[in-house]
Amino acid sequence: MDTPVISPPVHIELGDRSYEIRIGPGLLEDPHSLEGLPAASSVMVVSNVTVAPLYAARLMRLLCTRFRQVHLVELPDGEAHKDWGSLNLIFDALLAQACDRKTLLVALGGGVVGDMTGFAAACYMRGVPFVQVPTTLLAQVDSSVGGKTAINHPLGKNMIGAFYQPLRVLCDLDTLDTLPERELSAGLAEVIKYGPIADMAFLDWIEDHIEALRRREPAALAHAIRRSCEIKAEVVGQDEKESGLRAILNFGHTFGHAIEAGMGYGQWLHGEAVGCGLVMAARLSQRLGLVDGAFVERLRTLVQRAGLPVVAPVLDVQDNAARYLALMRVDKKAEAGEIRFVLIDGPGRAVVRGAPDALVAEVINDSCRA
């Protein structure tokens, strides 16, 4: 059953920090998008050099109907710029405009802009409110929701950051029209991950609608975004700061982060690395006797149909498995040097646990030549 293109917001329940995820077309032109936001003398829209020329004027026109001063700061584009230098550009702009502690930050862009804006909001004057306006599929189904904010460190992905929730998430479906095809596929990796960890009926639905999603049919996109946000809201509502359950949202990410860091940030897109990582994590689950080969093949086929890579890259021609293992030991889920993986423990159910290095090495070797 598909979701209508315009549907009620998804609610994320976090007590007095609860908020809505609004999904639909035309949100950047709809004054209702701003209803209920706190008064602020100034707003700082944070975007990047690619997204700002496409959507900043539209968003700023809307913001000007409600707020007196609306500023814009444009960051360089790309994962390679998710760093202290870009973060400082946000602080420079806020201070140059004498923005006070009630200033509202608005993140307009993909996950890179969203994660950095959220971190800036958590730090500026010890915390100012912020709104997420995600413009990639990946950001609409995952990164804009749940309050994880961060920048990268050369030694590890998203290592410096904070949990800090937005006041609202506005997923304007119209913004996906301009998204490059490769980025759309990258977003589908994060959509696919929700099936095996939480909802096999959703995985069936994705299999039936993968071409419609790649064609950007609005009803299919609306349903995929809504169901993904519902699952994420349910998990985050139970475990905001990842003391346990929330880790399942990292299915595919342990291998994926190693690929991103090992290749150099920006070589493989985050979603591409996660897509390949989903298949690797499924293979590891199979080696541990948790799922059968048919399940792995089902997931591999879907990831491939989404336009994502399923053969892992070689990160070191001398000792590839050792390089992967070294990179995975700095994953945030690692405990006392032991890598912990999100594995599938039967369809629709995830578990977080360690695995013998030798077994992981076999999965890496198989995945690099599969």
Active site residues: 126, 148, 190, 232, 242, 246, 250, 253, 257, 270
In the bound state, the residue with its beta carbon closest to ligand NAD is 111
Cβ nearer to ligand GLY, comparing 253 with 287 = 253
Span from 97-105, 244-252, 267-275, 286-294 in contact with ligand GLY (CB under 6 A): 244-252
Instruction: Tell me which of 60, 112, 120, 192 binds ligand NAD, using CB under 6 A.
Output: 112
Which of ligand GLY, ligand NAD, none lies near 246, with the C-beta cut-off 5 to 8 A by kind?
A: ligand GLY
Examine residue 197 and tell whether it contacts ligand GLY (CB under 6 A): no
| Window 315 to 354, contacts with ligand NAD (CB under 6 A) | none
Binding status of residue 142 toward ligand GLY by CB under 6 A: yes
- Rounded CA-CA distance 95/219 in Å is 42
- Looking at beta carbons only, is 109 or 195 nearer to ligand NAD? 109
Nearer to ligand GLY, 148 or 209 (CB): 148
CB of 47 to ligand NAD, least distance (A): 9
Displacement of CA 290 from its chain's centroid (Å) = 27
Q: Which listed option, ligand GLY, ligand NAD, none, makes contact with residue 183 (CB within 5 to 8 Å by class)?
A: ligand NAD
Contact 22, 34 (CB under 8 A): no
Q: Of residues 99, 113, 133, 278, which one binds ligand NAD by CB under 6 A?
A: 113
Binding segment for ligand GLY among 15-23, 141-149, 265-273, 298-306 (CB under 6 A)? Answer: 141-149
Which CB, 111 or 196, lies closer to ligand NAD? Answer: 111
x-marked contacts with ligand NAD along 185-224 as a string, rule CB under 6 A: -x--------------------------------------
Rounded to a whole number of angstroms, the minimum distance from the CB of residue 288 to ligand NAD is: 25
Both tokens of 258, joined, read 């190693």
- Spatial contact of 104 and 67, defined as CB atoms under 8 Å apart: yes
Closer to ligand GLY by CB, 70 or 203: give it.
203
Residues that bind ligand GLY (CB under 6 A): 142, 146, 148, 246, 249-250
